[in-house]
Amino acid sequence: MKKTLYKLIMIALVFVAYSCTKEENLDVDLTKYNTDTYVKGPIDTWLLNNLESPYNIQTVYRFERNLTDVNRDLSPVALNKVEPMMNAVLQSFLKPYEKIGGKTFIKTYTPKQFVLYGSPSYNTNGSITLGSADAGRTVILYELNSLNFSSASDVKRKIRTIHHEFTHILNQNIIIPPAFEQISKAEYSADWTGSANTAAVAKELGFISQYSRSSFGEDFAEMVAFLLVEGQVYFENFLSTTNVTAAAKLREKEKLVYGYYKDYYNIDFKALQNEVQAVLKTVYGATDPVDVSSTFPIYLKSNKVNTLVYDPGATHYATYGASAAFTTLFNNYKAMIVAPRVLQNFQFIFTSGTTMTFRIEYVSGTSTLNADYNFTYNVNTTTGEITFQKVMPEGTGTTYNNGQNSATLPAFETYMLPYLTNRTFIASWLPSGIGPTSPLYRTFAGFSVSGASTNYFYGPITLK
């Protein structure tokens, strides 16, 4: 694709909330930052040895009012924040890109100047600017005085800003693929801080952050920054806890980000992500969030599960145990099926993230037959609670196999229908005896009655 360089453009990363008041952040004695009497010291030596000489990158930390919007109220960066901040830039930005992209990439594309300010840059809509990229050469970082380098979350927030701004620089050289904009084109909104665009709303529309909704350029930069800095577990959790349509949009955006880096810069984005994550974890103590993307409720809601089979004759019930209450229900159901039919098993067929067919398999003479009953279900991916609702009316004909047959229907209506519809269940990986170290882990799952954990059923599952 043709390279396009946009000159004299400043693109900013904006954040909607902040902890300190504007007055607190701007309460600085500027007489201590007189550049006319400044004498170079250890900070300058460190910057020279680690950034200027090896990378030709200048750091401006003495208060330079004309390097950003002169209409904004700002305070200078505290001296004890300069080296930690620029070391974070070195370790979690420059070195990962240098390792994966190569020295030529670093020399060609990385900004040649970082400008540091202590306070946020305050916007008229109540938000604050955390950083900006100017003319493909300069990255400006704000709000450094309140940064706690012992806090992984604080560091990640600032490193995310850097990666966000550098993505803008890359996009100024090679434009974002038009296909990216089309994914969420109808949902972008200049009024991204408005009450109608909460973080929750943005997520349900397929945006990785509230700010992503402001434009497709910010959306792309936020996708890159979140994937690199928050990591893959965070991203998978994010997808798993939104709706199917939004998750599909986010997955497509992720795919286009990977393609952009590989096709235009020959960078393996996954390898870059791994490098950034390694630094954040080993140097700053960051940890992955708990992986909620692989819970059984998430599997159900995301339509990954095909079947769950309860067959009381299977050997795993002898090994891992069975619920006496559910065993009794099955035996009562079996006794009510009219001879010569003999009940074999229960099958739960999940046709979507909200619909299920309950099927009994039985034999009649030499034939194996089915009887089907349709349900909808609602699963809470946070609590694991799931409820089943009967689809009514069932209707007649072959669609339901033999479900309406007088030899099979009474048993269903007497036992399984009230059991499923009159209770709230907890969906989970069952039985508890199959733990994460077992090769059978996540190949079995089931449902226990909420508040009555001894009443449950489980079985092997197949995935789509």
- Interval 331-346 mean pLDDT: 97
- Would you say residue 289 lies in a domain? no
The pLDDT assigned to 7 comes to 32
How far is it, in rounded angstroms, from Cα 456 to Cα 449? 6
pLDDT for 213-236, tens place per residue? 999 999 999 999 999 999 999 999
The pLDDT assigned to 16 comes to 44
Question: Which pLDDT band, with edges at 50, 70 and 90, does 195 fall under?
Answer: confident
How far is it, in rounded angstroms, from Cα 241 to Cα 308? 23
The pLDDT assigned to 74 comes to 79
Residue 221 and residue 171 in contact, taking contact as beta carbons nearer than 8 Å: yes
Q: What is the mean pLDDT of the chain?
A: 88
Q: For residue 112, give both structure tokens.
A: 């040649």
Q: Which of 255, 284, 313 is the last residue of a domain?
A: 284
Query: CB neighbours of 186 closer than 8 A, spacing ≥ 6?
Result: none
pLDDT for 114-142, tens place per residue? 999 888 877 666 667 777 767 668 888 98
The pLDDT of residue 17 is above 60: no
How far is it, in rounded angstroms, from Cα 47 to Cα 60? 10
How far is it, in rounded angstroms, from Cα 459 to Cα 457? 7
Predicted TM-score (pTM) of this structure: 0.71
Place of tokens 């952040």: 25
Cα–Cα distance list, 151 to 76, 120, 125, 284, 361 (Å) = 22, 19, 28, 8, 57
**Is 234 in the same domain as 336?**
no
The pLDDT assigned to 11 comes to 46
The pLDDT assigned to 32 comes to 55
- Interval 398-423 mean pLDDT: 90
The pLDDT assigned to 293 comes to 82
**Is 154 in the same domain as 232?**
yes
Q: What is the CATH number of the domain that holds 108?
A: 3.40.390.70
Diameter of the chain measured on Cα atoms: 102
Residue 16 and residue 211 in contact, taking contact as beta carbons nearer than 8 Å: yes
User: What domain range is 437 assigned to?
Assistant: 297-463
The length of the chain is 464
- Would you say residue 149 lies in a domain? yes
**Is 301 in the same domain as 279?**
no
Q: What is the CATH number of the domain that holds 420?
A: 2.40.128
Place of tokens 């810069």: 265
The pLDDT assigned to 394 comes to 64
**More confident of the two residues 295 and 136:** 295
Domain count, the chain: 2
**Is 106 in the same domain as 203?**
yes
The pLDDT assigned to 3 comes to 34
- Would you say residue 369 lies in a domain? yes
**Is 68 in the same domain as 211?**
yes
Q: Give the other-Cβ count within 10 Å of 420's Cβ.
A: 21
